[in-house]
Chains A and B, each alone.
Chain A
């Protein structure tokens, strides 16, 4: 690791100072809010993962914790490969992705237009937001018994829970995103002859998109949480169910595998959103 990676390069100033014999002053590597080199970021992030792995290794290999509670990394790895080579596990992954996507997409289809509307017009805000704020504070998990009464314990129950968890939040977040669109841009469009509908179409909708995509990215994380809750409560397939089943047999390796797989799926979807944001909105 080269030194310059950690410090801001000021070779001439430092060299000059040394040549003259004065004290060479170096900038501290940790500068408030300042950017750091890409490589510096990557290596630091890697180190952080390695630290996590190291703590885990010390606790498990050192037998500081009962292996039933905390399996060793290699056992988890073996179990991961084991699980991923069975078609049953892929079925669990597939059904979980299906549930998350269905609930999430359904929430998006309804919440985005309502949120845009509530963010655009103050009357719509007055009509939509107070009840949403009210419902938002009711934990989605508390709806589970009600959802079971309404939708039984089939696929719809899980989709409905994810929908309930995401929809109300999403409406409020989309409305907030919409309100952040510059009023000046809207007024500029009016002076160029846009009608209200044209201003929505040609200014608000394009302007809100980068922020909206970021909101969806955050929301998808929540969708995974609600999926797990749904599958832990009542399911006979899916990753949550796999974790539940492993717990019954005190198979902690498999619990770890389930958690890691969900983490990886979340990471992949997150990266896809980040990629889309860069790709679709180079102007932002």
Chain B
């Protein structure tokens, strides 16, 4: 039992730096009837292994579409995207995703949701238990293991969604406005929880949001996108201390960056 547990731990703990995303010349056009909509235009973006990058932009700038292309849920018309050199052709277990809407499987308990990916892979029940225990602990959900999703609050549902994505041991974690539907207080808690998880897991994270504070608080680098057609406007490195405590929000650098980003987004929306 103990041996199996440590074996499972080894399997889910990554040692080497993997999960570099490379997006080159991606373009996407949506056609509905006679009207065409240019969602993305010539997107180039490199995300390093273990990096936390946020894409910030107004609604309609194509940021979600870009993320869905990386996830393999959407096809691009031009360009290529790859993870560690493997060209993305469809969705796969190497790219875990957390959606804005709640996408837990309602017929599975919290633990079964977390074990879903490993179970598909044919991981033995003992190892699965070890994996779910680990992620229940990391996301502080241990006491809710046997609940059904409908018995959870919005914040807890997203915790489970993150745990479920991580339990699969993905190279990169893609988050599409995961905290968009949560109330302000829960949102802050979830941001801290996510950073906590990222510290422990050190997986590559590509995070989508339209919330400036959220982008600054979470990321190492912010990529700002603009609409019509969706394109990358500018990149900002976030030079805040690596340890992000709530006090970081008062940091002069934080405020300066926020001013800059707000100005940029305001002009672009006009």
**B168 engages A192 (CB within 8 Å):** yes
Chain B residues 79 to 111 lying within 8 A of chain A, measured CB to CB, are: 90-93, 95-97, 99, 101, 103, 105-108
CB proximity to B under 8 Å, residues A177-200: 182, 184-185, 187-194, 198
B233 to chain A: closest CB distance in Å?
28
Chain A residues near B95 (CB-CB < 8 A): 191
Report the Cα distance A206→B107, complex, angstroms.
7
Majority-rule SS of A interface residues: helix
B103–A202 CB distance below 8 A: no
Q: Are A191 and B73 in contact (CB under 8 A)?
A: yes
Q: Residue A207 at the B interface, CB < 8 A?
A: yes
A206: nearest chain-B partner, CB-CB: B107
Q: Which of B14-22, B115-123, B195-203 contacts A (4 or more CB under 8 A)?
A: B115-123
A182 to B104, CA, bound (A): 11
> Contact: B103 with A184, CB < 8 Å?
yes
Contacting pair B73 A185 (CB below 8 A): no
B108 CB to closest chain A CB (Å) equals 8
The interface residues of chain B lying within 8 Å CB-to-CB of A189 are: 105, 116
Cβ-defined contact, B120 with A194, below 8 A: yes
Residues of A within 8 A of B90 (CB): 190
Report B-chain residues with C-beta under 8 Å of the C-beta of A194: 120
CB distance from B22 to the nearest CB of A (A): 19
For A191, give its contact among B71, B149, B150 (CB under 8 Å): B71
Q: Tell me, yes or no, whether A137 is within 8 Å of chain B by CB.
A: no
The answer to whether the Cβ of A283 comes within 8 Å of any Cβ in the partner chain is: yes
Task: Please name all residues of chain A whose beta carbon is closer than 8 Å to the beta carbon of B165 when the two chains form the complex.
Answer: 191-192
Q: Mark A198-220, 1 if CB is under 8 A from B, else 0.
A: 10001100110000000000000
A127 within 8 A of B: no
The answer to whether B103 and A193 touch across the interface, beta carbons within 8 angstroms, is no
How many A-B residue contacts, CB cutoff 8 Å?
67
Instruction: Give the residues in chain B near A282, CB-CB below 8 Å.
Output: 148
Given A198-B120, A282-B148: A193 and B106 within 8 A (CB)?
no
Chain B's closest residue to A280 (CB) is B107
CA distance A187 to B74 in the complex (A): 11
Residues of chain A at interface, number, CB under 8 A: 20
Give the distance in Å from the alpha carbon of A187 to the alpha carbon of B91 in the complex: 8
Question: A283 to chain B: closest CB distance in Å?
Answer: 4
A283's partner among B120, B150, B164 (CB-CB below 8 A) is: B150
Bound together, the chains give a CA A187 to CA B97 distance in angstroms of: 9
A203 contacts B99, CB within 8 Å?
A: no
Given contacts A185-B103, A282-B148, contact A192 B73 (CB under 8 A): no
Q: Are A184 and B164 closer than 8 Å at their CB atoms?
A: no
Q: Is A284 an interface residue (CB 8 A)?
A: yes
B residues less than 8 Å from A284 (CB atoms): 106-107
How far is it, in angstroms, between the C-alpha of A207 and the C-alpha of B93 when the chains are bound?
A: 21
- What's the Cα separation between A130 and B103 when bound, in Å? 32
A281 at the interface (CB under 8 A from B): yes
Enumerate chain B residues within 8 angstroms of A203, measured Cβ to Cβ.
Answer: 105
**Known contacts A184-B99, A187-B91, A283-B150; A193 and B107 CB within 8 A of each other:** no
Mark A162-173 against chain B: 1 for CB-CB distance below 8 A, else 0. Answer: 000000000000
**Which B residues, 133 to 164, have Cβ-Cβ distances below 8 Å to chain A?**
148-150, 164
Chain A residues with CB below 8 A from B120, complex form: 192-194, 198, 202
CB-CB under 8 A for A192 and B117, given A185-B105, A282-B148: yes
Q: Quick check: A283 and B148 within 8 Å, CB to CB? A: yes
Separation in Å of the B182 CB from the closest CB of chain A?
17
Given the complex of chains A and B, what is the CA–CA distance between A194 and B90 in angstroms? Answer: 11
Seen from chain A, the residues whose Cβ lies within 8 Å of a Cβ on chain B are 182, 184-185, 187-194, 198, 202-203, 206-207, 281-284
Q: Which B residues lie at the A interface, using CB under 8 A?
A: 71-73, 90-93, 95-97, 99, 101, 103, 105-108, 116-117, 120-121, 148-150, 164-165, 168, 174
* 5 contacts across the A-B interface (CB closer than 8 A): A188-B99, A188-B105, A190-B72, A202-B105, A284-B106
Interchain residue pairs A-B with the least CB separation, the first 3 = A193-B93, A190-B91, A188-B103
